[in-house]
Structure 1
Amino acid sequence: MVELERAQNPWMSTEQTQSVGADVSAAQPPSTSHWQLGVAERAFSAAGAAFLSAIIVNPLDVVKTRLQAQAAGVPYSHPLSNVISRMSYFGPSMLADICNVRGTMFADLRCSPSCTRAGIQGTVSICPPDCFQYKGTLDVFYKIIRQEGFARLWRGTNAGLALAVPTVGIYLPCYDVFRNQLEEFTARNAPSTTAYVPLVAGSLARSLACATCYPIELARTRMQAFKVIQNGGKPPGVLKTLFGVISHVKTTSNVQSNLQGYRVLWTGMGAQLARDVPFSGICWATLEPLRRKLLGLVGDEASALNILGANFSAAFVAGSLAAAATCPLDVAKTRRQIENDPIRAMKMTTRQTLLEIWRGGGLKGLFTGVGPRVARAGPSVGIVVSFYEVVKYVLHQRYAAS
């Protein structure tokens, strides 16, 4: 009966289920796992959730990364600005001739309406460099859409999908398995520690997923951080970005072996773990009691709509709190991933990076991009967790009916 009660409401803690079924005989047939779902079904549910979330919230991820990269010193100006300033040395007549011949080269050089325009012989409008600087979340949205196109807000979505599907496909099923096993263990051996199980299970599951899929995360951050404008060409994808990182290491360091060169693909993983492990711990430690309370109001008559609402609400709150608390670690992670000097990149530590950010920008620097990060994390965690649990519920109902 205890396992049957947990199957009806699998988010009940072990202590709750023990109190419910303490006076029931052990003749009831136990369930092998709550909701009788295997790892494959859980991974399928998680992959679908990750796919949906990655597409919806990617623009906020791009905005957050641009703000953090700009604070780290990445120059956001049109790539033709320096060329034009150098050409002006030869005089306005020659510059005008070059601009007339290569007019299409400057076709995508668009200024913000608030920027002062400086025409060159009436042929080309050139903007001051500060026209391309980002002044806040909405300003990033506006300038990306105007200067690079609306579709660029989904820059790195392919990398996001390539990252989110396997990462969440590993993360959520492993969290379920770790949580269930740890709750059973603590209930038998140390009941007072059961409340900490979500924190430990979330941290372990996230560490495993992060270490497995980190190179794709590195590619996504670099794709979002750097503005790439090519004349009719397609910006580099995941593989081309990673090959570019490796080739840069090989050309700048002759003493490193091939194996050492590939280590650069895990540059900044310490900062990633330093961000994701606390994020997962805070998130799950907040989410579990919230959704249990919300589902407790529903009782045993759980439906897909109730499960969706309870999980989305709890996950939204938990994800927002965790994102705000771990923002400095996210800033450090971004800074380490966009470092172009491979020698410096492999010598940097998270602690050194945080101190560097603090000296350069203080508290404001540590929380660069906190707005879009929180705005992204709340809905993202809500979508992933609620979709995952609803699909699990639907699959369980199908199995129960068969």
Structure 2
Amino acid sequence: MHMDRREFLASLTAGGLAGMCVDLILFPLDTVKTRLQSPQGFKKAGGFRGIYAGVPSTAVGSFPNAAAFFVTYEYMKATLRTDASPYLTPVTHMLAASFGEVVACLIRVPSEVVKQRAQVSPSSSTLRIFSSTVREEGVLGLYRGYKSTVLREIPFSLVQFPLWESLKVSLSYLQIIRVDCWQSTSCAGGFAAAVTTPLDVAKTRIMLAKTGSRNATGNVLPALCGVWRTQGIPGLFAGVVPRMSAISLGGFIFLGTYDKMRYLLL
């Protein structure tokens, strides 16, 4: 079974719009989180000043990133679908979400690298940061942190998407208001966010590392060990509160908007 053109366009549009809504609404929380995780510390990274620094990068990357995720997700879900056993359904959703993340990160990572660097140096413009990154590190510099981003996103999707899908099914049987499904998913998202915070810290350190430094190689384990040695457990969970808040609220807005938009378009 494959996706038809209408489904493809609906997933593309609904996914892109949902992604933009979330990223732009919750941007200040994301900036606070990045600054808490940055090596120079919250105050030196800008504190609460210039809270929208880096927003152009998000505005450009957000729609194609979310659209790429949902198109891949729905396509893989349709391709892998088996009617053999209902127990295999969550596995299908897990695999589809993982594929979705790998593809979406091709767009997300460059946008995230530029955004995070802008967030910790609010005096520089997004364009200047983009051009200096390409000048100093080449196009590959924009993909620094790709591994750590995928590593962070996959466990997250493994929790969130099968849960979202199964709640949609079970709640539609019970004729409960659909919002409940998004609420439950955002709780799951909040839990997954807390658990994956150390990976998020590692990703931030890798993306912000000076060219030529150890973290700039993009290896997750040394980055985690470095944080652990210098700051211990609090360092590994830096920014956990804004991250959990952003992801719980984000899951609620994101999946809710996606479902509603897709429903309207189809």
The correspondence for 2:240, drawn from 356, 360, 370, is 370
Q: Distance in 2 between matches of 1:311 and 1:162?
A: 30
Return the letter of the residue paired with 2:9: A
Aligned residue for 2:224, secondary structure, equals: helix
Matches within 5 A, 1:376-391: 376-391=246-261
Q: Distance in 2 between matches of 1:214 and 1:317?
A: 26
Return the letter of the residue paired with 2:51: L
Aligned-residue identity in percent: 25
1:73 equivalent in alignment to 2:40: yes
Return the letter of the residue paired with 1:244: S
| Cα distance change, pair 38–379 in 1 and its aligned pair in 2 (3 A) | same
Q: Which runs of 5+ in 1 are unaligned?
A: 1-30, 79-131, 133-139, 229-234, 250-260, 300-305, 397-402
Compare CA radii of gyration and give the structure with the larger one: 1
The correspondence for 2:206, drawn from 312, 327, 336, is 336
Aligned residue for 1:37, secondary structure, equals: helix
| Cα distance change, pair 295–192 in 1 and its aligned pair in 2 (3 A) | closer
Q: Partner of 2:62 in structure 1?
A: 164
In the TM superposition, what is the alpha-carbon distance from 1:74 to its structure 2 partner? 5.0
Return the letter of the residue paired with 1:236: S
CA RMSD of aligned residues (A): 2.4
Q: Partner of 1:183 in structure 2?
A: 81
CA contact (8 A) 2:53 2:119 kept: yes
Q: Distance in 2 between matches of 1:360 and 1:296?
A: 51
| Cα distance change, pair 372–75 in 1 and its aligned pair in 2 (3 A) | closer
Q: Partner of 1:4 in structure 2?
A: none
Q: Partner of 1:283 in structure 2?
A: 160
Q: Distance in 1 between matches of 2:2 and 2:141?
A: 43
Q: TM-score, normalised by structure 2?
A: 0.90
Name the structure with the higher helix share: 2
Q: Distance in 1 between matches of 2:217 and 2:90?
A: 38
Matches within 5 A, 1:143-292: 144=48, 148=49, 152-184=50-82, 187-188=83-84, 192-228=87-123, 235-237=124-126, 239-249=127-137, 261-292=138-169
| Cα distance change, pair 281–32 in 1 and its aligned pair in 2 (3 A) | closer
In the TM superposition, what is the alpha-carbon distance from 1:77 to its structure 2 partner? 4.2
Q: Higher relative contact order by CA 8 Å / sep ≥ 6: 1 or 2?
A: 2
CA contact (8 A) 2:159 2:188 kept: yes
CA contact (8 A) 1:264 1:342 kept: no
Q: Partner of 1:95 in structure 2?
A: none
- 1:103-123 CA distances to partner (integer Å, 9 max, x unpaired)? xxxxxxxxxxxxxxxxxxxxx
- 1:270-301 CA distances to partner (integer Å, 9 max, x unpaired)? 111111111111211332222322222118xx
Q: TM-score, normalised by structure 1?
A: 0.61
Aligned residue for 2:189, secondary structure, equals: helix
In the TM superposition, what is the alpha-carbon distance from 1:353 to its structure 2 partner? 0.6
Aligned residue for 2:81, secondary structure, equals: helix
Q: Distance in 2 between matches of 1:311 and 1:390?
A: 13
Aligned residue for 1:298, secondary structure, equals: coil
| Cα distance change, pair 310–263 in 1 and its aligned pair in 2 (3 A) | same
CA contact (8 A) 1:315 1:381 kept: yes
Q: Partner of 1:39 in structure 2?
A: 8
Number of positions where the alignment pairs a residue of Structure 1 with one of Structure 2: 266
Matches within 5 A, 1:92-103: none
1:352 equivalent in alignment to 2:250: no
Q: Which runs of 5+ in 2 are unaligned?
A: none
| Cα distance change, pair 32–209 in 1 and its aligned pair in 2 (3 A) | closer
